[in-house]
Amino acid sequence: LKMHVAFTIDVDADVAWACEGKTCAVTKGKDEALFEASESGFVSLQALLEENGWPATLFFEARAAEAMNAGDKDLKNFEIACHGLAHEDFTGKDTGLKMKRGDKAAVLAEAKRKLEDVFPRHSISGFRAPYLHWDKELLELLLETGFLYDSSVTVAREREVDSPLPEVPLLEFEVAGKKKSSYLWQLMEGKYSVEEYLPFVAKALEENALVVLATHSWHLSRSVAKGELSDAQAKANEEKVRKVLNFAEESGAMFTSISDFLGVSLD
Ligand SMILES: [Zn+2]
């Protein structure tokens, strides 16, 4: 049985943070959305992936794709998927603002259309909810909008998620007394070392047909707790990603985009 890893990058605003009473996000501590760290981190990660021949799925916020002129980048080796229009909190959990069903549908359709404009050679099949905030209504709307899968749900082990469309979940479970997740967030924040994280990857590969790993491109050079990081710290974060992915490859995992794994690519 072949093990698979889908490395995914959420490309959104630097330290995208929910605003109270507004659906869209800004950069934490600012009154606007910045894309500098997101872009520079993306350039580093793209180079790392290409150097190793690793495919990946890029969940682009449509606003970020436009701000970064991402259509000018050569991304033919990558899957492009959707991470909202302007990093909406679709459930209103953090913003306190309940979006109407019609407003959510309009935002999803516009995000998909914008990404199709920016990336005319890609088909946009997948979706990941900003903040991983999802509910049944959002999943229904994704299907109605023409998305072919979602990757917003976190579970301890891959299983059938009760959803109207295929779900490619993120994983989270305890290893050596600490909860670890598909998201490299805590690793990037320095909450634990790469060595402490690798047993999570090993166990996840043992128990699941597809292991999704995820990071934000800005997380190389921005820390939620510490703010802007030095070039050396950004390089160290990039090395953490390299070590995790190298470990997966050395464990025998095959790298794939999510759409290729599901066989839903329409290109
Ligand atoms: Zn995000």
Instruction: Please give the distance, rounded to the nearest whole angstrom, from the Cα atom of residue 113 to the centre of ligand 1.
Output: 19
Between 33 and 11, the higher pLDDT residue: 11
Instruction: Please give the distance, rounded to the nearest whole angstrom, from the Cα atom of residue 62 to the centre of ligand 1.
Output: 11
Instruction: Please give the distance, rounded to the nearest whole angstrom, from the Cα atom of residue 1 to the centre of ligand 1.
Output: 32
Percent of the chain residues topping a pLDDT of 70: 98
**pTM, entire model:** 0.95
Please determine, for residue 64, whether its predicted confidence score (pLDDT) is greater than 50. yes
What does the block give as tokens for 206? 């043992």
Please determine, for residue 82, whether its predicted confidence score (pLDDT) is greater than 50. yes
Please determine, for residue 10, whether its predicted confidence score (pLDDT) is greater than 90. yes
Instruction: Please give the distance, rounded to the nearest whole angstrom, from the Cα atom of residue 188 to the centre of ligand 1.
Output: 15
What is the DSSP secondary-structure string of 227-250?
A: EEPPHHHHHHHHHHHHHHHHHHHH
Average confidence score pLDDT of the chain: 93
pLDDT attached to residue 160: 67
Instruction: Please give the distance, rounded to the nearest whole angstrom, from the Cα atom of residue 57 to the centre of ligand 1.
Output: 14
Instruction: Please give the distance, rounded to the nearest whole angstrom, from the Cα atom of residue 158 to the centre of ligand 1.
Output: 22
CA atoms within 13 A on the CB side of 13: 23
- Residue of 73, 55, 63 whose CA lies nearest to 213: 55
Q: pLDDT band for position 24 (50/70/90)?
A: confident
Please determine, for residue 38, whether its predicted confidence score (pLDDT) is greater than 70. yes
State the Cα torsion 164-168-173-179 to the nearest 10°: -110
Instruction: Please give the distance, rounded to the nearest whole angstrom, from the Cα atom of residue 114 to the centre of ligand 1.
Output: 17
pLDDT attached to residue 140: 97
Please determine, for residue 264, whether its predicted confidence score (pLDDT) is greater than 80. no
Instruction: Please give the distance, rounded to the nearest whole angstrom, from the Cα atom of residue 83 to the centre of ligand 1.
Output: 7
| Average pLDDT score over residue span 46-61 | 98
Question: Measured between alpha carbons, how far is 250 from 246 in angstroms, rounded to an integer?
Answer: 6
| Average pLDDT score over residue span 210-217 | 97
Instruction: Please give the distance, rounded to the nearest whole angstrom, from the Cα atom of residue 178 to the centre of ligand 1.
Output: 24
pLDDT attached to residue 249: 97
Please determine, for residue 266, whether its predicted confidence score (pLDDT) is greater than 50. no
Please determine, for residue 15, whether its predicted confidence score (pLDDT) is greater than 90. no
Lowest-confidence range among 15-19, 35-39, 119-123? Answer: 15-19
Please determine, for residue 260, whether its predicted confidence score (pLDDT) is greater than 90. yes
Question: Measured between alpha carbons, how far is 248 from 18 in angstroms, rounded to an integer?
Answer: 33
Instruction: Please give the distance, rounded to the nearest whole angstrom, from the Cα atom of residue 185 to the centre of ligand 1.
Output: 11
Instruction: Please give the distance, rounded to the nearest whole angstrom, from the Cα atom of residue 25 to the centre of ligand 1.
Output: 9
Lowest-confidence range among 12-16, 21-25, 176-180, 220-224? Answer: 21-25
- Helix, strand, or coil here: 46? helix
Instruction: Please give the distance, rounded to the nearest whole angstrom, from the Cα atom of residue 2 to the centre of ligand 1.
Output: 30
Percent of the chain residues topping a pLDDT of 90: 83
pLDDT attached to residue 267: 45
